[in-house]
């Protein structure tokens, strides 16, 4: 039809919420304060997940909380050292959840939502497990954040560096705990509940199934992977340490992209009708596209935003680039939204035995019986 323009839109509906675009700042330093969140929305992000809000005392390490590693073709190939002709490799952090108490967050959340009513404000929350008091803490956090105007809640069951064994990634493999927390939160609020599970488990698909069955509207994947910073062979110092000591932290950024896609693919193929918020290594549209084709309907970004110089850590140019490139892609391909290509990779993911071999006689490595 001559002169017909195929409509395209960046708007997406995810867990019943209307996003002006599918790009969201993940729960991390970019969303640690009212100032940063307001700047993020001013810059064009469709939503934010706040830095995790809790009720237990939080105090960060007496030194750097986050470092950025860069890759080079010259030795050392990966290092945080500032060198010419390097590219981003990953981030590493041992930062804890927000040290701002709930009572200070609540008026900030109200102001943010009032200022940007068309943007989605998701509160990340964390409490403990194993007793009535902690279940009440989950309810208290969720209720307070929703009453302050939050559109959804993300349950942090994935932080890889918590001392308390009843918090974060420590509890994401326990199906009874997942059920109890979701029961507590869904009984207290009626907004969509996203569950952020740890990617570092062999039972991720089962844990996601329990979360969905217990009322989760979406699974958020992936949080950072447990990891160690590098040590310099000359100085025998870690690239980040306090008094010569280090502990497990979380690796994010481009280095975890392929692993994150695997986790999203696993969940999406097991539960194709369920929602997934994709996280891990999104630096541009190419990476975001890959999460979408594996089934993600929402895209969270952290490291790339933090690395952008002059943006205050919220990715001012990044969100402009992401929305521009997605818009151009939709127009070029004649798609009206990301839903037209979301999940198209699923049917092409098969077992190893289904990949064509050089010989038709290959039977998967098993010896033929006599």
Give catalytic residue positions: 159
Identify the bridge partners of residue 245 per DSSP, sorted by sequence position.
Answer: 242
Q: Which of 91, 98, 31 is nearest to 59 (CA)?
A: 98
Identify the bridge partners of residue 155 per DSSP, sorted by sequence position.
Answer: 125, 195
d(CA 86, CA 33) in angstroms, rounded, equals 31
| 3-state SS track over 187-207 | HHCCCCEEEEECCCCCCHHHH
In terms of C-beta distances under 8 Å and separation of at least 24 residues, what long-range contacts does 61-65 make, across chains too? 61/94, 61/242, 62/242, 63/240, 63/241, 63/242, 64/240, 65/29, 65/93, 65/94, 65/95
d(CA 219, CA 205) in angstroms, rounded, equals 11
The answer to whether 191 touches 150, Cβ cutoff 8 Å, is yes
* 108 φ/ψ sector (left φ>0, alpha ψ -120 to 50, else beta): alpha
d(CA 117, CA 23) in angstroms, rounded, equals 16
d(CA 338, CA 323) in angstroms, rounded, equals 12
How far from 6 is each of 10, 22, 322, 327, 331, CA to CA, in Å? 13, 20, 20, 12, 7
- Beta strand extents in 285-351 (DSSP E only): 298-301
Which two structure tokens, joined as six digits, stand for 305? 């935003």
The answer to whether 48 touches 175, Cβ cutoff 8 Å, is no
Residues 342, 345, 350, 354, Cα dihedral to 10°: 140
Name the pairing type of β-strands 249-252 and 87-93. antiparallel
């Amino acid at each position: 039809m001559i002169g017909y323009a195929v409509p395209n839109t960046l708007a997406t509906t995810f867990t019943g919420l209307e996003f002006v675009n599918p790009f969201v700042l993940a729960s991390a330093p970019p969303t640690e304060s009212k100032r940063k969140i307001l700047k993020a929305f001013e810059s064009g992000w469709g939503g934010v997940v706040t830095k995790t809000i809790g009720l237990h005392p939080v105090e960060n390490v007496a030194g750097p909380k986050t470092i950025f590693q860069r890759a080079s073709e010259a030795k050392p190939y990966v290092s945080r050292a500032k060198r010419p002709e390097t590219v981003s490799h990953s981030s590493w952090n041992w930062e804890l959840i927000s040290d701002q108490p709930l009572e200070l967050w609540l008026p900030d959340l109200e102001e943010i939502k009032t200022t940007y009513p068309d943007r989605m404000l998701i509160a990340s929350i964390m409490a403990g497990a194993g007793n009535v008091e902690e279940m009440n803490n989950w309810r208290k956090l969720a209720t307070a954040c929703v009453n302050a105007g939050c559109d959804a809640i993300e349950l942090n069951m994935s932080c890889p560096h918590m001392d308390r064994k009843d918090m974060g990634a420590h509890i994401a493999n326990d199906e009874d705990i997942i059920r109890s927390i979701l029961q507590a939160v869904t009984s207290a609020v009626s907004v969509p509940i996203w569950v952020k599970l740890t990617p570092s488990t062999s039972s991720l698909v089962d844990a996601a199934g329990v979360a969905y069955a217990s009322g989760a509207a979406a699974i958020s994947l992936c949080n950072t992977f447990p990891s160690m910073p590098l040590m310099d062979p000359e100085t025998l110092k870690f690239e980040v340490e306090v008094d010569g000591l280090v502990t497990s932290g979380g690796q994010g950024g481009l280095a975890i992209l392929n692993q994150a896609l695997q986790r999203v693919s696993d969940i999406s193929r097991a539960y194709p009708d369920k929602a997934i918020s994709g996280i891990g290594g999104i630096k541009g549209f190419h990476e975001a596209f890959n999460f979408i084709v594996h089934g993600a309907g929402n895209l969270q970004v952290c490291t790339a935003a933090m690395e952008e110089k002059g943006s205050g850590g919220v990715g001012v140019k990044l969100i402009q680039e992401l929305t521009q490139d997605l818009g151009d892609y939709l127009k070029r391909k004649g798609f009206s939204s990301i839903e037209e290509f979301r999940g198209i990779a699923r049917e092409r993911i098969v077992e190893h035995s289904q990949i064509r071999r050089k010989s038709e006689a290959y039977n998967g490595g098993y010896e033929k019986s006599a």
